[in-house]
Each structure stands twice: as structure tokens, then as C-alpha cells.
């Protein structure tokens, strides 16, 4: 696909691993600038398109850390296909809220939530084969694949994502300076 002046559009894929979709909401929070972006970008795999697998792309945006086997597969698929891979948000960068279980034993956690919790009568740890296997620890994505850039924030603001993407697409080295650079 190309825009009116014949420039090929930048192909972007996005996904949420162990995230809350807050970073994707922030992407939408660019408001009318989304229309600007739509002139130069087309989306591959993303919750916005419902394409199920990532094809060759220029930019991959990853929200969330890696908490289960499926996250590992998806992340590797993105790394294989995306020229530039970006960790978006606190969870992709340091595991975030899900990683706060990392100093606990996973078995104890599951017992506490699904078996021992008050009000549970016939509890049992879910074991449907369809469910992805949990990892013993939640990992930041850079512990699993090489990551080119990081956009911190919980979530990063629409302004920060806009600044980053327009720099990257415009051929400038993306740099977020204070106060766009934020960890919360």
C-alpha cells in the first residue's frame, strides 16, 4: 500500500503480552494525530486489526512483560519479523505489576488464588491444555529477545508515543527527554 505521493507506508505491528492494554489505550490517546499517523503507517498484527500473525514489519511495539509460554512465542515472532522492536511501558521494561510475584513461589501463588482463598468451595488450579504454561518468573522483554528502544511509562503518554514514532519514522534517532520520559 502507498500514500498519495507514492511513498511506501511504514508497517507497524503491536501486541500486548502480560500487560493491561493501557499502553494501547495510550496509543489511541494521540487523538486526531492518529489520522496523521494513518497517512504514513499501516498496521500488521495488532489488536486494532485482528490479524493473528505478524508478517514482515518495520516497527513492532510490545506492551507487557513475558509471563507465559505463549508470550515467548509471540515475542519471538515479533522479533523475527520486525526491523525495529520497541518495549512500550513499564511492564515490557521491568515486568511491572505482574512481576511483583517474582519473589514468591509460583505453586504457592496458584494455591493461594485458586484453592485456599476465602469463599472458594471447590477450588482447583486451572489446568486446561488450552491454557499457556506459566513461567516461574515474569521477565522484561529484553531478557528474552534483543530490544532496540524503550518507551517507559505506566502507560507512556500519547504525547510520548507520538514523539517517539514521529522521530523514528522521520529518520531521527528517537529520544524522549524529561518530562516525556517518565516511569509512572
- Does residue 3 touch another protein according to CB under 8 A? no
- Does residue 9 touch another protein according to CB under 8 A? no
- Does residue 165 touch another protein according to CB under 8 A? no
- Does residue 100 touch another protein according to CB under 8 A? yes
Footprint (CB under 8 A) of another protein, residues 55-74: none
- Does residue 112 touch another protein according to CB under 8 A? no
Least Å distance, CB 129 to another protein, is: 29
Helix (H, G, I), strand (E, B) or coil at 35: helix
Can you tell me the distance from the alpha carbon of 132 to that of 11, in angstroms, rounded to the nearest whole number?
28
CA angle 142, 108, 98 (to 5 degrees): 30
- Does residue 95 touch another protein according to CB under 8 A? yes
- Does residue 134 touch another protein according to CB under 8 A? no
Angle between helices 158-169 and 33-40 (to 10 degrees): 30
Cβ proximity of 181 and 152 under 8 Å: yes
Q: Which long-range contacts (CB under 8 A, 24 or more apart) does 175-178 make?
A: 176/151, 176/152
- Does residue 151 touch another protein according to CB under 8 A? yes
Residues that bind another protein (CB under 8 A): 87, 90, 93-97, 99-100, 102-103, 137, 140, 142-143, 147, 149-152, 154, 175-179, 181-184
Amino acid at each position: 500500500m502507498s500514500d498519495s505521493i507514492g511513498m511506501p507506508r511504514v508497517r507497524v505491528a503491536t501486541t500486548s503480552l502480560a500487560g493491561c492494554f493501557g499502553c494501547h489505550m495510550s496509543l489511541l490517546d494521540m487523538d486526531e494525530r492518529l489520522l496523521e499517523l494513518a497517512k504514513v503507517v499501516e498496521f500488521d498484527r495488532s489488536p486494532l486489526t485482528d490479524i493473528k500473525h505478524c508478517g514482515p514489519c518495520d516497527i513492532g511495539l510490545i506492551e507487557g512483560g513475558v509471563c507465559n509460554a505463549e508470550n515467548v512465542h509471540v515475542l519471538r515472532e515479533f522479533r523475527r519479523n520486525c526491523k525495529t522492536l520497541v518495549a512500550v511501558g513499564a511492564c515490557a521494561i521491568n515486568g511491572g505489576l505482574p512481576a511483583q510475584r517474582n519473589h514468591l513461589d509460583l505453586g504457592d501463588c496458584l494455591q493461594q488464588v485458586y484453592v485456599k482463598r476465602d469463599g472458594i468451595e471447590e477450588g482447583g488450579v486451572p489446568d486446561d491444555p488450552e491454557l499457556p504454561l506459566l513461567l516461574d518468573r515474569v521477565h522484561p522483554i529484553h531478557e528474552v529477545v534483543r530490544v532496540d528502544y524503550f518507551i517507559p511509562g505506566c502507560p507512556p503518554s500519547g504525547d510520548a508515543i507520538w514523539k517517539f514514532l514521529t522521530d523514528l519514522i522521520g529518520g531521527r534517532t528517537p529520544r524522549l527527554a524529561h518530562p516525556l520520559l517518565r516511569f509512572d
